[in-house]
């Protein structure tokens, strides 16, 4: 779940598999909720999916083709290493398009007009890279317009900061947090559940999902002592013009 080309990230992700297991399960539960929607597509545009360290094999198994779009040159070979068994067992075709997902979005949307689109946890980095909150807000709102007529979803960082290192006992794992998009988050509850400390970062991703959509809030102990709160939601905009 990164758009970078940092082998250190992949090494850290490999080592963190156990620490991330509860987050990965929460993400799997959300991803699989796509199957509750009518007639889900059998093609997936996976934008920013990297090596699929947090991806659900059961979710992938529902598609005939996965198009992975990522700037990381290692993404495709590591994705195959992590999920090759699932791809082979279910006869899933994996295509890899290397490059910036924002720049390539128009082309892949046109090439795969029926595919489900998943923005896989890279939109939370946008304001960090652009260093412009106005530009990021315009671009993220623009994504919603570009997704009209599609079945699409996003999981992205909302908040991140220091908290307890006792991730196994953190109160957040006993909660299934949900919140309507574009409304204030229950920050005090989220912070208390991970024993938040110090200064936290707002990733400015509130424009990603349409207002009022019921979303999942998922805790992620990215490294010992530091947490991210992810927001995830599916949007069925098929039929919209």
* Secondary structure letter of residue 171 according to DSSP: G
Domains of the chain by residue range: 7-236
- Show the tokens assigned to 129: 């890279």
pLDDT digits (tens, 9 = 90+) for 202-213: 998 998 999 999
Which residues are CB-neighbours of 90 under 8 A, at least 6 positions away?
60, 61
SS3 8: helix
- Model pTM? 0.93
Distance CA 127, CA 133 (A): 6
pLDDT of 228 > 90? The answer is yes
Helix, strand, coil proportions of the chain in percent (round to 5)?
40, 25, 35
CA 16/CA 7 separation, integer angstroms: 14
Lowest-pLDDT range of 30-34, 117-121, 173-177, 221-225: 173-177
Q: Which residue has the higher pLDDT, 140 or 84?
A: 84
The pLDDT value given to residue 174: 81
Any idea what DSSP says for residue 210?
P
| pLDDT greater at residue 147 or residue 128 | 147
Q: What are phi and psi of 69, to 5 degrees?
A: -115, 115
Lookup: tokens for 109: 């949307």
Q: Determine the Cα–Cα distance for residues 158 and 222; give it in Å rounded to an integer.
A: 14
pLDDT of residue 198: 92
What CATH number is given for 7-236 in this structure? Answer: 3.40.50
pLDDT, the chain, mean: 91
- pLDDT class for 1, splitting at 50, 70, 90? very low
């Amino acid at each position: 779940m990164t758009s970078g080309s940092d082998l250190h990230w992949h090494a850290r992700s490999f080592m963190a598999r156990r620490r991330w297991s509860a987050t990965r399960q929460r993400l799997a539960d959300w991803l699989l909720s796509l199957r509750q929607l009518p007639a889900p597509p059998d093609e997936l545009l996976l934008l920013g999916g990297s090596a699929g360290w947090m991806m659900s094999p059961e979710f992938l198994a529902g598609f005939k083709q996965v198009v992975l779009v990522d700037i990381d040159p290692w993404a495709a070979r590591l994705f195959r290493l992590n999920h090759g068994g699932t791809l082979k067992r279910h006869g899933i075709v994996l295509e890899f398009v290397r490059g910036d997902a924002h720049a390539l979005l128009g082309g892949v949307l046109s090439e795969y007009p029926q595919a489900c689109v998943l923005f896989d946890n890279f939109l939370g980095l946008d304001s960090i890279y652009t260093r412009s909150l106005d530009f990021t807000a315009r671009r993220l709102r623009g994504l919603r317009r570009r997704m009209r007529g599609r079945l699409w979803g996003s999981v992205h960082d909302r908040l991140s900061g220091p908290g307890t290192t006792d991730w196994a006992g953190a109160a957040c794992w006993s909660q299934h947090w949900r919140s309507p998009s574009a409304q204030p988050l229950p920050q005090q509850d989220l912070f208390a559940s991970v024993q938040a400390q110090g200064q936290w970062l707002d990733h400015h991703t509130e424009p990603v999902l349409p207002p009022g959509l019921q979303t999942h809030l998922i805790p992620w102990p990215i490294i010992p002592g530091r947490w991210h709160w992810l927001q995830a939601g599916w949007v069925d905009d098929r039929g919209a013009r």
